[in-house]
């Protein structure tokens, strides 16, 4: 559509989400469990910073690459999460889940392989986006489990 400001798009995204959540909360349509008092501010700040960085890089990747290449990079996030949790957190993964992950990743790769247009800068941004996106999901999962948060929290 010719909108050439991917970081501004991220800002618009977060403002719109915040306003919508505030409206839903004011109308008592969305039960929001407040973060636990035991959750350190540094953890919440780190999650917010990584989430914002990840979204910005995703939008920049979409600006410089085709949707197919973006989807291929997005596919790489899940194996990165599994590998990072295995290496850093010693979290095991069943053989069945690994096979399922390989099959799903292969299926999406085949479905999007016809639309792989990218340039060197776009590819570097897409690769750089994978790491903070995986960290975002790992941090969120750990905070959700340690604080007994709901998905809407």
Please state the domain extents for the chain.
Answer: 1-64, 66-152
Residue pLDDT, tens place only, 96-108: 988 998 898 888 7
**Taking the CB of residue 64, how many other CB atoms lie within 10 A of it?**
19
Q: Which of 120, 139, 118 has the alpha carbon at shortest distance from 53?
A: 139
Prediction pTM value: 0.75
| Dihedral class, residue 27 (left if φ above 0, else alpha if ψ from -120 to 50, else beta) | alpha
Provide the pLDDT for residue 116: 72
Q: Which of 1, 112, 147, 130 has the alpha carbon at shortest distance from 61?
A: 130
DSSP type of residue 94: -
pLDDT higher than threshold 80 for residue 117: no
Q: Which of 66, 84, 88 has the alpha carbon at shortest distance from 76?
A: 84
Provide the pLDDT for residue 35: 62
């Amino acid at each position: 559509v010719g909108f050439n400001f991917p970081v501004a798009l991220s800002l618009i995204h977060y403002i719109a989400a915040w306003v919508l959540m505030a409206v839903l909360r004011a109308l008592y349509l969305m039960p929001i469990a407040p973060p636990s008092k035991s959750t350190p501010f540094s953890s919440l700040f780190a999650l917010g910073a990584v989430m914002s960085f990840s979204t910005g890089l995703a939008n920049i990747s979409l600006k410089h690459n085709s949707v197919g290449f973006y989807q291929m990079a997005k596919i790489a996030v899940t194996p990165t999460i599994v590998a990072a949790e295995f290496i850093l957190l010693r979290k095991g993964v069943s053989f069945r889940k690994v096979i399922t992950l390989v099959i799903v990743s292969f299926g999406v790769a085949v479905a999007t392989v016809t639309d792989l247009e990218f340039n060197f800068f776009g590819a570097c941004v897409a690769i750089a986006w994978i790491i903070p996106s995986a960290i975002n999901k790992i941090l969120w999962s750990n905070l959700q489990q340690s604080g007994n948060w709901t998905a809407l929290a």
